[in-house]
Amino acid sequence: MVTTRRALALGAAMAAATVLAACGSGQVGEAPNQGGQTGAQGGNKKLALVPGVQNEPFYISMQCGAEEEARGAGYELQTNAPQQFDATLQEPIVTGLAATKPAALLIAPTDDVAMTEPIKQVKNLGVVVVEVDTALKDTSVAVSTITSNNEQGGRLAAETMSKLANGKSGSVLVLDTKAGTSTTNARAKGFEDELKKYPNLKSAGVEFTQNEPDVAASKVTAALSSKPDLIGIFATNLNSGEGAATGLRNAGKIGAVNLIGFDASPSEVEGLKAGEFQALIAQDPATIGKEGVKQAIAKLDGKDVKRNIEAPLIAITKENMSANEKYFYKTKC
């Protein structure tokens, strides 16, 4: 458990840290409708959103923001997500867009390499491609990428972990999702880099959860038995965090090991309230969705497009959670 003194110190630190960034960057003026886009001029008002996985509060909140923006601009947004966060399941959804040929595709690629060819195929039909959340390694495919500063989010988590440890020594485990997930891989990297600044905190390494809560729970169980000095866990996304909380609960280690999660799903927020998580790094998926639609339409209208846009991130603790409810993710619009 976080003691009152520690909680107060952390609360003050969080107030100073809070919103990391909300500004766009690298505005790139681009020539209108390169590549024979079907665009607004062609009268095509269909947009497609392909999130990373179905029924997941982060992507539901993104969809809500995207739908609102599309509606306001007179576009129709159709969302189709894979059942699991898996490129082999996302690929047929993307290639299937050849049949409906939307004016633009907003996509969260589930693998930064494997999804390149299918997305390029759709782009070659004249569909404008915008990346929302995750991105491909090949930066030539999308006209715009809207994402949180994930590496900075990882750094903020490490800084928070150090405050929670309050000088105590021990090892700290990172739960990443899958290799090839641009966002969570960057969070793990940012965390590990920043951790080196705190000599009392030793890295217990990075484990992959395959984005499955059960795998995350069993990684925590294994780490608790192989690393008796484990004092902290950083879970790089929602499923990893929810699974880590289960692992700690099963071992009776809630509060004894500090857990910092990423995202703000209803279950993580409940966990924060209950003291299972000591902090959450929340994103703003609705803004990511809205900006994705804005940039797609700008491209279709032949206007300037921002190549990279950074969405806000915020560290939420039990102490500041009531002031930050707007960051909690939705399960329906």
Interface residues with ligand T6T (CB under 6 A) are 52, 56, 58-59, 133-134, 181, 183-184, 237-239, 262-263, 283
How near is the Cβ of 237 to ligand T6T at its closest, in Å?
4
Nearer to ligand T6T, 39 or 285 (CB): 285
* Best CA proximity match to 6, nearest among 166, 201, 170: 166
Please report which residue ranges of the chain form alpha helices under DSSP H: 4-17, 57-72, 87-95, 97-100, 116-123, 150-165, 182-195, 213-226, 238-250, 266-273, 285-300
How near is the Cβ of 168 to ligand T6T at its closest, in Å?
28
How near is the Cβ of 184 to ligand T6T at its closest, in Å?
6
Nearer to ligand T6T, 11 or 180 (CB): 180
Can you give the three-state secondary structure of 282-312, one letter per residue?
EECHHHHHHHHHHHHHHHHCCCCEEEEEEEC
Strand 104-107 to strand 279-283: parallel, antiparallel, or no bridges (unpaired)?
A: unpaired
How near is the Cβ of 319 to ligand T6T at its closest, in Å?
23
How near is the Cβ of 56 to ligand T6T at its closest, in Å?
5
d(CA 214, CA 220): 10
d(CA 33, CA 18): 38
* DSSP code of residue 254: B
